[in-house]
């Protein structure tokens, strides 16, 4: 197994929002998808996934419906609300800015050592 | 979904949560099986990946945001269930708290309107009282002093003076005397209240020899005149004069300076003739109030008035006895009317807080004991995922619920308590009518209930959740009880200490009262009947008519069987009679304020006042005979130290009349109260007085039942004149007891509280020792098996209890020594560190504690080692 990284504080919400933005999806699928897309680098602690989902739902960023899943069993599908979409955009943008900035700083220190 | 939606649809949410978790686990398991895992192994791994399922669910519930409310509801239902499961425990706890909360609320209901609430007038904080001073003590102002201050002062919006007025109204039935006030025109304006009907007094009403007008109280108007609106303008007969009713005061008007006053008339003093210093206008018999201008402080007014007092001006001459040279006392009206009761009320409030504290400590101990029994339950709950905060919340909910029960019951206790307190209340307690379990009392009760609920729950809650949760699930619990026992013991020590404070206070008050009643009042109160007669109508305008009436009334009373030696006096000791103080000036120019007793012959014999020197006044001292006077021993010692006063001369009252020659010296009599030190007095014959008093008190010796003979004596007086109102019919020893009603009130309340505290402390000691004996059964069994005798074991337990008591007593004595300083104004003849009281309290506490120890000790001594050891 490759080395796994712990999620930085607060990023779980952002990742969940992003995955849900792709279309209604149930909790288990979110966990699966996060793991697959990140090529197993991001290991989502399943124990904190559900509380996070419930919290986002409670804040009105996600909405949920009970629908039949691919296996024919009824599952709780989460989808993004309008508010959630706006939140995703601002958070994604700020994440982008942050990582670029961090990248720049890291490069700078490499240059300074030469 | 709103939060209450979520709350009420909690079960559906729970169902969905369960379903979501199940779906996740099933999916994961299925995937793992598809990857080639063994089904059982797949299930295990799926569960592992998710983490503790219950834990995840808890976290999801937390994420819902209504968690606290759900928990509260759950805790509440759980608490109700727990308390119902143990009705005995619940009843004891709730009743103990009810006692504490109820007593506190009752006392608060009494104290609040008197001390804390502003007086029932607009901007009541601006109403001041102003006093002249004599030897540093407040005394009433004279009319001319009032005139001068009102004219020269700029600090007040309105200034007013008043005095008692007791008009009699004769009707078809018995003559009735009313309590009223003669007031300057500005009186109601100074209070900030105006009549509900008709008009207020105007300056024009308050003129010398002005027309007779009166304002009625709402109560009198309703009682005597049927609440008739047409009363304004009607005439009523008072003291034989026609008075026009010009107004009726509003229903809620609370006349705090004279609560029993039912009607008012203008003072109508003579503002002219200022230099006639013998006139009534120069008498010190007026209470004075003033309403400060907005924005002015008491200090400014005080400075201004005292500056005026120092700077005499020609326009306002002053006699030596009203020179104002010792300054004026200016203080808020609330401060003045509560001056005497404040120490009592505050100490009683402090005492009841101690009782509440003791009750709370006791219930805390009960809860701690319960905590021990419930340890397994809490350990189980913790193991099932309840966090520490959650357990604490649960326990606090329970204690708050218990406190709420106690608070509800406490309101019943308070309602009865207030009634009892009002019935017991000392004479002169202001604002009696405002005392009720009102919204302020409810708020207070709610507040202390909440605080008590939190306090009694906190210690056990912190305790239960501390560390031993894990230990609790194991079965060795009995041997790990040390920490809780320590806490319980600490609480018992605190309880004993608080009880000692109350006991010592009660003891000191008790001893003070005993000392006071041991003080010789200077007369013999036993078998003395007294009543006050007031002259009614113009036929008594003439002094000789008054004197004739006195003589005839005495004759009539003498004929009543079963009574002997009737006599009249203008001033009756310990009756609250005011306005009996006059200047006494001796030949060398020395002057003193003395009580003036104008009496009929035989008064001293009837009262049992001792003759020290010379002779008593008797039948010889008639109007025509040379003026004679008896002075009190204290006055004799003051003016004639080491000399014989007999034959010396003195002016009592006016100095422009013939001298009174001192013919006798009599024993000192306590006039104001038993604690009074001022006993300077002058006794003159009523026939030789420079005026005949408006009201005279009859004293008469009675052979048998004092009160049973009263109607016959009254009828005898009415046989002379049936229009004479007779009031204050009472036994002299009743007056004596009533004169110390403030101290008695404090003592009764303190004793009741101390008793409650003692019982609570005893049950506390008992509870801790029983718990300890139960927990040490095994140890005691081992000791017994190893040869300890019953006596040894008895001693072991009693020693443990007495050690706690001893510690509590030691701490309590220190507290009591500090607390008794607060009582100092209530004490009389007893030091706050009175050894007898302290020793007595120690003995009492030790005795009660010994009894409380004895029962568990006796149980311990009967432990059969073979049974306890086998049980382990």
Mean pLDDT of the region B797-816: 90
B19 CB neighbours in chain A (<8 A) are: 74, 76
Tell whether the model's pLDDT for residue B1 goes beyond 50. Answer: no
Average pLDDT in chain A: 81
Q: What is the CA radius of gyration of chain A?
A: 17
DSSP B115: I
Q: Which residues are paired to B245 by β-bridges?
A: B214
For A27, nearest residue in chain B (alpha carbons): B24
For A55, nearest residue in chain B (alpha carbons): B63
Q: Between vectors from CA B823 to CA B822 and to CA B824, what angle results, nearest 5°?
A: 95
Is B720 in contact with B589 (CB distance < 8 Å)? no
Average pLDDT in chain B: 87
A73 CB neighbours in chain B (<8 A) are: 23, 26
3-state secondary structure of B210: coil
Distance CA B578, CA B164 (A): 10
**The pLDDT of residue B404:** 93
Distances (CA, A) of B57 to A52, B21, B328, B759: 12, 8, 77, 49
Mean pLDDT of the region B448-466: 82
Tell whether the model's pLDDT for residue A114 goes beyond 50. Answer: no
Q: Answer whether A39 touches B (CB < 8 Å).
A: no
A27 to chain B nearest CA, in Å? 7
Closest CA to A80 of A106, A97, A109, A57: A57
Note whether A73 contacts B26, CB cutoff 8 Å: yes
Distance CA B513, CA B761 (A): 26
Tell whether the model's pLDDT for residue A5 goes beyond 50. Answer: yes
Mean pLDDT of the region B683-703: 91
Tell whether the model's pLDDT for residue B171 goes beyond 70. Answer: no
DSSP B146: H
Q: Using 50, 70 and 90 to split pLDDT, how confident is the model at B475?
A: very low
B50 CB neighbours in chain A (<8 A) are: 46-47
For B60, nearest residue in chain A (alpha carbons): A51
3-state secondary structure of B162: strand
Q: Using 50, 70 and 90 to split pLDDT, how confident is the model at B762?
A: confident
A26 CB neighbours in chain B (<8 A) are: 23
Closest CA to B113 of B349, B353, B431: B431
Is B178 in contact with B262 (CB distance < 8 Å)? yes
Mean pLDDT of the region B302-331: 90
**The pLDDT of residue B839:** 93
Count CB-CB contacts under 10 A for residue B173: 6
A76 CB neighbours in chain B (<8 A) are: 16, 19-20, 23
Contacts of B837 (CB under 8 A, 6+ apart): B504, B507, B508, B511, B830
Phi and psi, residue B568, nearest 5°: -110, 145
Percent of chain A residues topping a pLDDT of 70: 83
A32 CB neighbours in chain B (<8 A) are: 31
Domains and CATH numbers, chain A: 11-113 (1.10.10.10)
Percent of chain B residues topping a pLDDT of 90: 39
For chain A, the straight-line distance linking the first and the last C-alpha, in angstroms and rounded, comes to 34
Distance CA B452, CA B439 (A): 20
Distance CA A59, CA A76 (A): 17
Residue to mutate among A67, A75, A78, with most B CBs inside 10 A, is A75
3-state secondary structure of B378: helix
Mean pLDDT of the region B701-718: 89
3-state secondary structure of B857: helix
Task: Write the DSSP string, B26-45.
Answer: HHHHHHHHHTT--HHHHHHH
B229-256 pLDDT, tens digit per residue, is 899 999 988 888 899 999 999 998 999 8
Count CB-CB contacts under 10 A for residue B152: 16
Q: Answer whether A5 touches B (CB < 8 Å).
A: no
Percent of chain B residues topping a pLDDT of 70: 94
Q: Answer whether A23 touches B (CB < 8 Å).
A: no
Nearest to B60 among A46, A54, A71 (CB): A54
Tell whether the model's pLDDT for residue B646 goes beyond 60. Answer: yes
A52 CB neighbours in chain B (<8 A) are: 63
B824-866 pLDDT, tens digit per residue, is 888 888 898 999 999 999 999 999 888 888 888 888 888 777 7
Q: What is the dihedral of CA B437, B442, B443, B447, to 10 degrees?
A: 120
Q: Answer whether A107 touches B (CB < 8 Å).
A: no
**The pLDDT of residue A2:** 42
Q: Using 50, 70 and 90 to split pLDDT, how confident is the model at B376?
A: confident
Closest CA to B327 of B304, B310, B311, B312: B310
Beta strands in B377-526 (DSSP E): none
Phi and psi, residue B548, nearest 5°: -65, -45
Tokens of B57: 């669910």
Residues of B with CB under 8 A from a CB of A: 16, 19-21, 23-24, 26-28, 30-31, 49-52, 55-56, 59-60, 62-65
A48 CB neighbours in chain B (<8 A) are: 59
Q: Which residues are paired to B134 by β-bridges?
A: B137
Contacts of B337 (CB under 8 A, 6+ apart): B256, B257, B430, B431
Q: What is the dihedral of CA B581, B587, B590, B594, to 10 degrees?
A: -20
Is B838 in contact with B813 (CB distance < 8 Å)? yes
A30-82 pLDDT, tens digit per residue, is 888 887 877 777 667 777 888 888 888 888 888 888 888 888 888 889 999 99
**The pLDDT of residue B488:** 81
Distance CA B495, CA B475 (A): 32
- Residue located via tokens 């009810």: B98
Distance CA B388, CA B394 (A): 10
Distance CA B114, CA A92 (A): 67
Phi and psi, residue B118, nearest 5°: -65, 155
**The pLDDT of residue B380:** 78
Count CB-CB contacts under 10 A for residue B871: 9
Tell whether the model's pLDDT for residue B537 goes beyond 80. Answer: no
Burial class (CB in 10 A: 0-12, 13-18, 19+), B138: middle
- Residue located via tokens 């009042």: B521
Note whether A47 contacts B27, CB cutoff 8 Å: no
B52-109 pLDDT, tens digit per residue, is 777 788 788 777 766 667 777 888 888 888 888 888 888 988 999 999 999 999 999 9
Mean pLDDT of the region B680-685: 94
CA B346 to chain centre: 7
Tell whether the model's pLDDT for residue A113 goes beyond 70. Answer: no
Residue to mutate among A27, A46, A57, A70, with most B CBs inside 10 A, is A46
Note whether B56 contacts A76, CB cutoff 8 Å: no
Note whether B30 contacts A71, CB cutoff 8 Å: yes
Residue B647 φ/ψ region, left for φ over 0, alpha for ψ in the -120 to 50 degree band, beta for the rest: left
Q: Using 50, 70 and 90 to split pLDDT, how confident is the model at B568?
A: very high
Distances (CA, A) of B424 to B260, B432, B757: 18, 11, 21
Distances (CA, A) of B579 to B188, B206, B209, B597: 23, 22, 23, 11
Distances (CA, A) of B483 to B460, B464, B780: 11, 10, 20
Tokens of B94: 């709730």
Is B577 in contact with B627 (CB distance < 8 Å)? no
Is A17 in contact with A88 (CB distance < 8 Å)? yes
Distance CA B86, CA B377 (A): 15
B275-297 pLDDT, tens digit per residue, is 888 788 888 889 999 999 999 99
Phi and psi, residue B191, nearest 5°: -75, -25
Nearest to B62 among A45, A51, A74 (CB): A51
**The pLDDT of residue B485:** 73
Tokens of B185: 């025109």
B21 to chain A nearest CA, in Å? 9
Q: Using 50, 70 and 90 to split pLDDT, how confident is the model at B480?
A: very low
Percent of chain A residues topping a pLDDT of 90: 11
Tell whether the model's pLDDT for residue B202 goes beyond 70. Answer: yes
Note whether B56 contacts A51, CB cutoff 8 Å: yes
* ipTM of the modeled complex: 0.85
Tokens of B573: 């000791």
Note whether A71 contacts B62, CB cutoff 8 Å: no
Contacts of B178 (CB under 8 A, 6+ apart): B166, B167, B168, B169, B220, B238, B262, B263
**The pLDDT of residue B339:** 86
Distance CA B662, CA B783 (A): 86
- Burial code (b: 16+ CB inside 10 Å, e: under 16) for B25-51 equals bbbbbeebeeeebeeeebbeebeebbb
Task: Write the DSSP string, B508-549.
Answer: HHHHHHHHHHHS--SS--TTEEEEEEE--SGGGSSHHHHHHH
What is the interface size between A and B, counted as CB pairs within 8 Å?
A: 57
Q: Answer whether A48 touches B (CB < 8 Å).
A: yes
Distance CA A49, CA B359 (A): 50
Distances (CA, A) of B753 to B109, B350, B495, B659, B844: 17, 11, 13, 57, 15
Q: Using 50, 70 and 90 to split pLDDT, how confident is the model at A1?
A: very low
Distance CA B211, CA B214 (A): 10
Contacts of B698 (CB under 8 A, 6+ apart): B529, B530, B531, B532, B533, B553, B557, B566, B567, B568, B713, B717
Tell whether the model's pLDDT for residue B123 goes beyond 50. Answer: yes
B23 CB neighbours in chain A (<8 A) are: 26-28, 69, 73-76
Closest CA to B437 of B101, B121, B108: B108
Tell whether the model's pLDDT for residue B306 goes beyond 80. Answer: yes
Q: Answer whether A90 touches B (CB < 8 Å).
A: no
A47 CB neighbours in chain B (<8 A) are: 50-52, 55-56, 59
Residue to mutate among A4, A28, A45, A81, with most B CBs inside 10 A, is A28
Specify the DSSP element, H or E, that contains B134.
Answer: strand B127-134
Q: Using 50, 70 and 90 to split pLDDT, how confident is the model at B213?
A: very high
Tell whether the model's pLDDT for residue B604 goes beyond 90. Answer: yes
Note whether B55 contacts A55, CB cutoff 8 Å: no
Note whether A50 contacts B56, CB cutoff 8 Å: yes
Note whether A46 contacts B51, CB cutoff 8 Å: yes
Q: Which residues are paired to A52 by β-bridges?
A: none
Q: Using 50, 70 and 90 to split pLDDT, how confident is the model at A7?
A: low
A77 to chain B nearest CA, in Å? 10
Residue A23 φ/ψ region, left for φ over 0, alpha for ψ in the -120 to 50 degree band, beta for the rest: left
Is B482 in contact with B741 (CB distance < 8 Å)? no
């Amino acid at each position: 197994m490759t080395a796994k990284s712990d999620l930085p504080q607060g990023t779980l919400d952002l990742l969940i929002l992003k995955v849900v933005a792709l279309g209604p999806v149930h909790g288990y699928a979110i966990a699966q998808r996060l793991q697959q897309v990140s090529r197993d680098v991001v290991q989502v602690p399943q124990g904190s996934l559900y509380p996070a989902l419930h919290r986002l739902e409670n804040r009105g960023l996600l909405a949920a419906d009970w629908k039949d899943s691919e296996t024919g069993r009824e599952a709780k599908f989460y989808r993004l609300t309008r508010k959630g979409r706006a939140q995703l955009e601002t958070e994604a943008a700020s994440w982008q800015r942050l990582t670029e900035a961090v990248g720049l700083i890291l490069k700078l220190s490499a240059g300074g050592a030469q | 979904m709103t939060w209450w939606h979520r709350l009420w649809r909690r079960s559906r949410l729970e169902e969905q949560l369960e379903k979501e978790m199940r779906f996740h686990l099933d999916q994961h398991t299925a995937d793992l099986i598809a990857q080639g895992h063994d089904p059982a192994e797949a299930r295990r791994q799926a569960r592992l990946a998710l983490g503790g399922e219950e834990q995840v669910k808890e976290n999801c519930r937390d994420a819902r945001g209504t968690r606290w409310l759900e928990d509260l509801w759950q805790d509440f239902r759980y608490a109700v269930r727990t308390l119902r499961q143990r009705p005995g425990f619940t009843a004891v706890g709730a009743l103990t708290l009810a006692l504490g909360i109820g007593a506190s609320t009752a006392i608060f209901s009494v104290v609040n309107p008197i001390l804390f609430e502003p007086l029932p007038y607009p901007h009541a904080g601006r109403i001041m009282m102003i006093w002249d001073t004599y030897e540093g003590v407040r005394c009433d102002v004279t009319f001319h002093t009032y005139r001068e201050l009102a004219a020269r002062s700029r600090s007040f919006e309105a200034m007013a003076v008043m005095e008692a007025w007791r008009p009699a109204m004769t009707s078809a039935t018995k003559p009735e005397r009313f309590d009223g006030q003669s007031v300057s025109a500005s009186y109601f304006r100074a209070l900030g209240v105006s009549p509900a009907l008709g008009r207020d007094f105007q300056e024009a009403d308050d003129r010398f020899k002005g027309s007779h007008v009166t304002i009625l109280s709402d109560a009198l108007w309703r009682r005597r005149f049927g609440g008739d609106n047409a009363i304004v303008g009607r005439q009523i007969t008072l003291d034989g004069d026609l008075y026009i009713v010009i107004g009726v005061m509003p229903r809620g008007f609370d006349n705090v300076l004279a609560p029993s006053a039912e009607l008012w008339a203008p003072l109508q003093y003579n503002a002219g003739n200022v230099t006639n210093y013998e006139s009534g206008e120069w008498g010190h018999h007026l209470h004075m109030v003033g309403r400060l201008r907005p924005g002015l402080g008491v200090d400014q007014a005080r400075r201004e008035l005292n500056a005026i007092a120092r700077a005499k001006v020609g326009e306002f001459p002053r006699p030596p006895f009203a020179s104002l040279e010792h300054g004026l006392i200016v203080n808020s009206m609330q401060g003045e009317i509560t001056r005497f009761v404040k120490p009592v009320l505050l100490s009683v409030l402090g005492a009841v807080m101690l009782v509440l504290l003791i009750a709370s400590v006791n219930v805390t101990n009960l809860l701690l004991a319960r905590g021990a029994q419930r340890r397994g339950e809490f350990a189980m709950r913790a193991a099932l995922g309840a966090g520490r905060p959650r357990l604490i919340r649960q326990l606090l909910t329970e204690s708050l619920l218990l406190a709420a029960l106690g608070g509800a019951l406490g309101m019943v206790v308070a309602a009865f308590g207030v009634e009892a307190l009002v019935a017991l209340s000392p004479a002169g307690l202001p604002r009696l009518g405002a005392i009720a379990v009102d919204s302020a009392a409810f708020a207070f009760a709610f507040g202390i209930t909440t605080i008590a609920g939190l306090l009694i729950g906190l210690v056990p809650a912190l305790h239960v959740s501390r560390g031993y949760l894990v230990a609790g699930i194991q079965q060795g619990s009995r041997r790990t009880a040390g920490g809780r026992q320590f806490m319980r013991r600490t609480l018992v020590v605190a309880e004993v200490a608080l009880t000692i404070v109350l006991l010592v206070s009660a003891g000191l008050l008790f001893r003070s009262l005993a000392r006071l009643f041991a003080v010789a009042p200077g007369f013999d109160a036993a078998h003395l009947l007294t009543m006050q007669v007031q002259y009614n109508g113009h036929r008594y305008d003439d002094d000789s008519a008054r004197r004739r009436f006195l003589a005839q009334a005495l004759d009539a009373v003498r004929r009543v069987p079963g009574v002997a030696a009737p006599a009249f006096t203008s001033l009756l000791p310990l009756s609250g009679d005011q306005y009996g103080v006059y200047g006494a000036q001796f030949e060398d120019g020395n002057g003193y304020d003395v009580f003036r007793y104008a009496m009929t012959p035989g008064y001293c014999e009837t009262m049992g006042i001792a003759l020290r020197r010379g002779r008593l006044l008797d039948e010889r001292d008639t109007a025509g005979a040379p003026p004679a006077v008896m002075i009190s021993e204290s006055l004799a010692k003051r003016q004639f130290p080491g000399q014989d006063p007999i034959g010396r001369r003195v002016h009592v009252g006016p100095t422009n009349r013939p001298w009174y020659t001192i013919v006798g010296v009599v024993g000192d009599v306590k006039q104001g109260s038993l604690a009074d030190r001022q006993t300077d007095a002058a006794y003159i014959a009523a026939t030789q007085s420079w005026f005949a008093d408006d009201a005279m008190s009859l004293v008469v010796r009675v052979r048998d039942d004092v009160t049973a003979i009263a109607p016959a004596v009254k009828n005898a007086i009415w046989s002379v004149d049936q229009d004479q109102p007779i009031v204050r019919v009472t036994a002299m020893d009743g007056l004596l007891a009533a004169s110390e009603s403030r101290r008695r009130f404090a003592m009764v309340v303190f004793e009741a509280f101390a008793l409650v505290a003692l019982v609570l402390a005893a049950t506390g000691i008992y509870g801790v020792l029983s718990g300890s004996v139960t927990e040490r059964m095994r140890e005691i069994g081992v000791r017994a098996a190893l040869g300890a005798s019953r006596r040894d074991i008895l001693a072991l337990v009693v020693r443990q209890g007495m050690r706690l008591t001893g510690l509590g007593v030691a701490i309590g004595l220190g507290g009591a020594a500090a607390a008794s300083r607060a009582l100092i104004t209530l004490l009389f003849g007893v030091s706050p560190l009175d050894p007898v009281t302290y020793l007595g309290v120690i003995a009492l506490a030790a005795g009660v504690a010994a009894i409380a120890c004895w029962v568990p000790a006796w149980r311990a001594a009967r432990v059969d080692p073979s049974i306890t050891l086998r049980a382990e």
